[in-house]
Amino acid sequence: EAQVTQNPRYLITVTGKKLTVTCSQNMNHEYMSWYRQDPGLGLRQIYYSMNVEVTDKGDVPEGYKVSRKEKRNFPLILESPSPNQTSLYFCASSLRGTGNTIYFGEGSWLTVV
């Protein structure tokens, strides 16, 4: 079954404690990206990757890091989380190029206290 899998799905952490949200896809997609969803703002892109070892900033990259060492994995790293990073995070993937459907993970609820 085609899937984008995120972990953890739910997390409460404290300010400043580094955390990683993993994302894995089993569709051999080149393109992967991370979004955060906040009320009234929709989904905003944090980072995206067009292929292995290629990453670029989205609209709201501050406070986040990513890496793309393997095609299937695209972890999101919060080096020093702050309360304003409390949000719902989605990972997504698709085949590279226009006209391809983007598949989303189920989301990761992150609370920073």
Partner 1 sequence: AQSVTQPDIHITVSEGASLELRCNYSYGATPYLFWYVQSPGQGLQLLLKYFSGDTLVQGIKGFEAEFKRSQSSFNLRKPSVHWSDAAEYFCAVMDNYGQNFVFGPGTRLSVLP
Binding site for partner 1 (CB under 8 A): 31, 33, 35, 40-45, 48, 50, 56, 58-59, 90, 92, 94, 96-102, 104-107
d(CA 103, CA 92) in angstroms, rounded, equals 5
Residue closer to partner 1 (CB basis): 18 or 96: 96
